[in-house]
Chain A
Amino acid sequence: MNACDLAIIGAGPAGMAAATEAANAGLSVILLDEQPAPGGQIYRGIETVPEERRKLLGPDYGKGLSIAQAFRASNATYIPEATVWNINPDLSIDYSRNGGSSQISTRHLLIATGAVERPTPMPGWTLPGVTTAGALQILLKAHGGVGDDVVLVGSGPLLYLLAQQMIEAGGPPKAIIETIDRSHYLKAARHLPRALSALSYLRKGMAMMRQIRRAGVPHYTGARDIRIEGAQRAEAVCFSAHGRAHRIETTSVALHQGVVPNQQATRLLGCDHVWSESQRCFIPKLDAFFESSVENVFVAGDGAGIAGANSAEIRGRIVALRVAQKLGDDKGTQIRALQKKLSRDEAIRPFLETLYAPSDEVMVPHDDVLVCRCEEVTAGAIREAVDLGAPGPNQIKSFLRSGMGPCQGRMCGLAVSSIIAERRKENPQSIGYYRLRPPLKPLLLSELAQLEREPTRDEPL
């Protein structure tokens, strides 16, 4: 089988930009993505969204169109609706598509699988009607759907962006319940001088806040002891704020405590990860060109540490040029220029990370809160297993089945590592994370049985 120069997993800003840049530099490129169209989650539906909806979603979303168009115009081979379920150490990649499986082989791999929502374990978070904030944004972007009594709960820029987009779409949230601790403001202020060099982000943030205020959306700050009530589905959010108890009736609760790198593929390949104290998550260990501890495996986009869509695109380009350089092209000047641009774009991050640090309530949930949604394992059960001597997530997994359900630990992994760390009074770095094995996603036996060993370059684009 002929190996391509660069295979990319994920068609978000990082993946699309890397594919375009690499193909334009003359490299053979294959991009695999799970969705039917390019864009990733941030630019979901960007090619097909009706113009009026694109406008109400805002210019930052609209920016994705030119990136997608450039990618379509490039010579990169694009394989949509492809679910990657294994990556071998020799960088051959198994994926399923249309009910069968295929394999491609590559000399360099870029993992551009982006971010997932941080797990937000709290009482009632498994009730139907409770979603992530990202889910409601996807419903609006890709399908033009908006709720009529949505209550947004948590912390992070996405909450305000979603509120703004819902207001524009004619379905303003019923309330915003913010969990930011007052101490965060003081700590974040220290990072303001650097953030000022990214003034456009600060301005955008303030404009969003103003619009939410003008729309008259009730905005609660300093919320604690949050729980979602309901017999068979969400009926109300209860919380206390500034010494008062509140109860807001709703059928739709959207949770958000920031996003974290999707670690599934990098963990599978055995890449080294480091615990980021400021982002409160694991990040793959990368060099200045986003190459991981596994040679020829790169990570770009939010999977390389949360930095947003603009940085994702720049990181993707840096990886493409670095791969071209490794193959003998001198791209040093271009890479240095992009690195400079990236450092400017990332200047806002320390401020945002400090201000919107996840609340302790979700990092250290109460004993009776379900942490592993699939296998229904509580925080208390995890602590009990730690007390019995389980030293890390993999032993907890054997004891309790947490992380062994269909989501394969995607929804509980970070929370489980954090709970163990807190109980053992250690840093999550020394606790580590679930060991991941193929298949990366559940697949049918028939998909496995129909594994073709031939590449599928001639598939329709």
Chain B
Amino acid sequence: MSRIQQCFENLRSEGRKALIPYVTAGDPDPSMTLPLMHALVEAGANIIELGIPFSDPMADGPVIQQAMERALLHGVSLRQVLEMVRSFREQNQTTPVVLMGYLNPMERMGYETFAREAAEAGVDGVLTVDLPPEEADDVIGFFKQYELDCIFLMSPTTTLNRARRICEQASGYVYYVSLKGVTGSSALNVTDVATKLEGLRTVTDLPIGVGFGIRDGESAAAVGKVADGVVVGSVLVNKIATYANQPQQARDAIVATIRDMRQAMDR
């Protein structure tokens, strides 16, 4: 059983939902990331999504774009991100780590090399924003070979037929994007999400994480009622922008947000 499956199994038996924070690796500089990952786990995170900086993040809003630009200023790219995961695994062997990013850095490294090195570093899953299942045949074989879960996105525009095709390729969990837009978009409609998830559950038994538009304990708890996992990104990354050059304050603010969400979800 993969670390991700195990994680969802454990939570299910406890009647709890996964809290899945996203941070961009290397933001605002490489020294921030490792202590932040441990602090996130300490504050109640169950899975960590670690963003791979990319020069052209087409699906991201300004908050995560700027995070990636900060990381890229320090030369943080895919290889450095794998090193961070390797370091994280020296102290933590249980919390799943999912890499989230765009295809070109992986293509440039070579899919087999990437899959092998990611698995060796202790990565559990990969979510590639610009890789729909139609184009994924070459890539997925290597991910499966090295036992990396393939996390795919689904969105409000995904028909049930497409969802069925996506779920045939997916493993670990699927990530439902709650609204049409980029990361950091405004309010989500939980009723719409609930309706959509009911449909998706008829085509897959995989856990469903929901992200986009989750800002605080209240929205996390509301989504947690209908989803198996709650993904939160821009609101955390925004703390790093707010506390520029004050890593301790940024980390404290992020930890406080995650604690709020954890408490609200477990209430």
* A in complex with B: no
B interface residues (Cβ-Cβ under 8 A, vs A): none
A interface residues (Cβ-Cβ under 8 A, vs B): none
